[in-house]
Every structure is written in C-alpha cells, then in structure tokens.
Chain A
Amino acid sequence: MTLIRLSGVTKSFPPASKTATPVVAVDDVSLDIAEGSITGIIGYSGAGKSTVLRLVNALERPTSGTVEIDGRDITGLRERELRALRSDIGMIFQQFNLFDSRTVAGNVAYPLEVAGRPRAEIAARVDELLAFVGLADKAKNHPEQLSGGQKQRVGIARALATSPRILLADEATSALDPDTTQEVLSLLKRVNAELGITILVITHEMEVVRTIADRVVVMENGRVIEDGTVFDILSAPQHPATKKFVASIIEDVPAGAQLQVLRDRHPGRIVTFTIREGDVSQAEVFTALTAHDVRFELIHGGINDIGGRVFGHLTLALTGDADAVDRAIGAARAHAPLIEEDIRG
C-alpha cells in the first residue's frame, strides 16, 4: 500500500538576486513509497534529495504538484494541521540536532510535551524508548557527554517518541565512523522490522543504501534518474551518475588506466564475467574454462551479497594455447550469456 505519494512535485527557491533565475531544487518528481518499506534516495549534494525529504513532512512546500500521506493531500494544510501531521512523521539528522539545554530524556520527551501528553505517560514512553535504543543508563546525561553514535540513537528515540508511521533520515550516518554507521543502520533496520515504520533515507553513500534499503531512487539535478530495487540498480545501473555510485561499493569492469595496469601485470587474455544470480551459474563458467585446458587467474572483481542475492564482476586472465583460449571463451559464453565483452589488448 502506498503511504507517501509525490505527484509531479516541483520546488523552486527564489533567486539570490533579481536578475538570476530561480533555483529549481526538485524538478517534476513523482514517487510512491510503500508502507513498511525502506527506501534510499541517493544523490550528490545539490541533487534535491534533502528537499524531497522535507516535502514529506512539509518543512518545505511544493511550488507545484502534490504530496500525499496515506491518501491525504498535505499540500494545502495550515500550520496547525501540519503540527499533527509532523507528530506522525519522525525525522533524524546528520548533525543530530539535539537540544543541548535538555537531558537525553528531555530530548526524547520533547515531541510528547509538544503534543500535550500527560506527564506520567511521557515518563513511561521515554523509558521505553531509551531502553529500545539501548541508552536507558544515559537518561540524565546531556548531549555533549555522548558519542556521535549515542547522539544519533537519542535522535532516533526522539523521532520515534510519538509513534510515527514514517521516519525520515537526513544523511543520518554521514557524520559517523564506519562502525558506528553500521550500529545506527542496524537500529534503523530494527525500527523498520519490529515497529513496522516506513523509512525514507537520503544519503550520498551507496553502502548505506545497500545495507538497509529495499529500493533505491537516484537523483540528479532535482530529477529522479533511476528508481528500482537495490539489487536491480546495483547489478545493472543505467545512468552514468548511478554507475559512479555503484562503482564506489562494487568492483567494476576494469577499464582505462586500471585495465592497463592489469594487462602489464598479467599475461594472456583478460576477460570479465558478470555473475548475476539467476542469470549465470559461476560453476558453469569455470567448468567450461577448465574443460578447454586453459589456465586462469582471478585478477580483479569480487562477489557481493546484495540483500541476500549474489552479484559481482570477475575479471580473469586466461593463458594457454591461443585456440584453446578462444574455444574456452566461446564455451563459457554459451553457458553464460551475460559474459562481459572480451577486452583483449
């Protein structure tokens, strides 16, 4: 079921000077986000992903187009109505944005105080949330006494205080080290799995998308340039920008200078197989190669686990009798139609 729907949304900001043209941050974006999903929106800075996120909780209003939450158009809501809407949508931030004047418990209590909940209910809920994020012992501490990862966990507890249906994560792990990033990402996964909360993550790191998302939306210059399951996008990126993001986590087919280095180092013919689960059997490829009496060496690439499915590029250097190598490649191709093109020098 669709929980968040953006239809033809454009957001432009007034120009910096009178002669300049308005800045179009989001350009005719349409998106349906299914309830219970984790969607990653990836793009470089200035791609408009941050604005898309803020359109969902109406921190930004669209210039044109509509934003619907659970079938209700929020585009024309008044400030008062938006407050109720926002307590149904939690948000976490790259810089955590905790209230320094409040304790950890006070930070988590804030959305509940704003919603006018009774004191006893707030106290019970705060305890429950701090236990959920593993910070029960830090309730009386102040934010500056916490590590980055702990701060983000407080941010998550605060965002979940009013039991929202949606959680928006704005580069939530970009200020964290790799270990802490994994810790926060697994907490977000738990939020999704145990509480059924729909999560929308924006990031510039493909690793974040691969770790938690089911679906990835790639943005560039305010537009959605690619949208699909994480496996499909990672295994077969179409757009150049997407390819760059994918290359950051998946060893690509060697080309250019990288290929030259491999060629200098390894004799024989260099070929790359794309192993895509369901399409190619790795075993068949290797069997075909050995059957033709060629020697091969794995010189580049690797196998990746993307949401439990296998994908990767394997670059091999084949040596032996030239005819045998030809026959081996031909045989392997026959078994595996997605073998990458021969890149013989």
Chain B
Amino acid sequence: MDRLIALLPQLWEATFETLYIVSFSLIFGGILGLLLGLALYATREGSLFPNKPLFGFLNVLVNFFRPIPFVILLVAVQPFARGLGLPGIGPEFGIFAITIASLFAISRIVEQNLLTVRPGVIEAARAAGAGRARILFRLVPREALGPLVLGYTFIVVALVDMTAMAGAVAAGGLGEFAIVYGFKQFNPAVTWAAVLVIIVIVQVVQFVGNGLARRILRR
C-alpha cells in the first residue's frame, strides 16, 4: 500500500497518458472511421451513390483488417510507424496503432447506424430538392445521431481497452503502469489501482454517452 502511495504521481501520469491516447485515437480513428463508414453506406446498392466495385473494395478492406487481433496488429504496424517517421514506442505510437485498428471497427459501426435511417426519409429529402451530397453529409448523420453517439461510446470503451493493451509495447498509459509497476514487481495492489482507474474512466464515458444519446433521442 505504501508502494502504491509512493507511485501515485506515476499513476496520475499514466492516467493522463491513457486519456491522451484515447482522445487522439478517437479524433483520428473517429474521423477516418466516420468517412469510411459514410463511404460504405453511400456506395452500397440502392444508396445515394451506388458503386458496386468501390463498395466491394471497401468492404473487403474493412473485413481484411477487422479480424486481426489488436496485440498482433500493434506489433505489425510498428515498421509502418517508423517508416512514416513516427516513434515505434510511446503514446504517439499508441495513437497511431489504435487509430488504424479502430477506424475499421468504427466504419462498421457508423455504416450500421446510418443504415437505420429509413429510405423513405432520404426519398423525402430528395423530393424536397436536396442534393445527394447534402443528404449524405448533413441529413443522414443527423438523423442517425442518437445511435451514432451510442456507437461511439462503445468505441471509446474499446479504445481504453486497446490503450491498456498497447502498454505491453511501451506505449505508455495505465496498461504500461500496471505491467511495469504491478505485474513485474509482484504488486497486485498497484495492478488493481490501474484497473480501478480504468473502470472509473469507462463508467464516466458510458454515463456521458448514454446521457447524450438520451437527450438526442428525447427519451
């Protein structure tokens, strides 16, 4: 316990790092995933910009990356990070790896939630004179906003999980804290302290996400 108290500064730093990695991964992965999800949604047959070859390509691309276990992807993308002049360890590498891993998952979640918008609503917008791009970028995401917020909440929780895993390759954050000070130094109290902080982060994220979705859905 004394050991844990002595490690509190490191714990706070690790917490801050986790939040840092999660935030930037969410920004990059979230935006790229949103764009890819919109592309998947729009190019599907019968949608706003149907394009069979493009949809097929994107579909296979997503299906190619999605099943790769994150721990493996994490090591596999290290050479690419270095090739792009990024470090192969540390929080920045964590952000890079998590962005790649999450954007494909996010694209599916976005696609699925956009598909909940009834085709009749899109037809009504077209009949009202709205252009297809306007419908795709402005109306459809707005109509699906409630489920999208819930989807992104789910993703943030997954990002926290991935961040902890990235700690295994010295990406920083609570995962690395738990491994270095808890697991390797035989101090379960320290490991559990990290677990507790992660639980708190997840609870807060879920609470905020649910509240936001409830307000958007007005129920």
Contacts and interface: CB of A to CB of B under 8 A. Distances in A.
Contacts of B69: none
Contacts of B127: 57, 59, 86, 89-91, 159, 168
B139 interface: yes
Given A57-B127, A114-B134, A95 B118 contact: yes
A100 interface: yes
B126 A86 contact: yes
Contacts of B124: 91, 93, 97-99, 155, 158
For chain B, give the interface size range: 20 to 34
Main secondary structure of the interface of B (DSSP, over half): helix
Interface in B129-184: 129-132, 134, 139, 142-143, 145
Interface in B60-99: none
B197 interface: no
A230 to B, nearest CB: 26
Contact of A114 (B120, B121, B129, B218): B129
Given A97-B124, A101-B216, 19 more contacts: A59-B123, A59-B127, A79-B131, A83-B129, A84-B129, A86-B126, A87-B129, A93-B124, A97-B120, A97-B123, A98-B124, A99-B143, A101-B145, A110-B125, A114-B129, A114-B134, A115-B129, A155-B124, A161-B128
Contacts of B131: 79-80, 83, 114
B219 to A, nearest CB: 9
Contacts of A142: 218
Contact of B120 (A79, A93, A111): A93
A33 to B, nearest CB: 17
A20 B124 CA distance: 31
Interface of A: 57, 59, 79-80, 83-84, 86-87, 89-91, 93, 95, 97-101, 110-111, 114-115, 142, 144, 155, 158-159, 161-162, 168
Main secondary structure of the interface of A (DSSP, over half): mixed
A59 B126 contact: yes
B57 to A, nearest CB: 22
Contacts of A91: 124, 127-128
B125 to A, nearest CB: 7
A100 B126 CA distance: 16
Q: Which 3 A-B pairs have CB atoms at the shortest separation, nearest pair first? A: A97-B124, A111-B128, A91-B127
A4 to B, nearest CB: 15
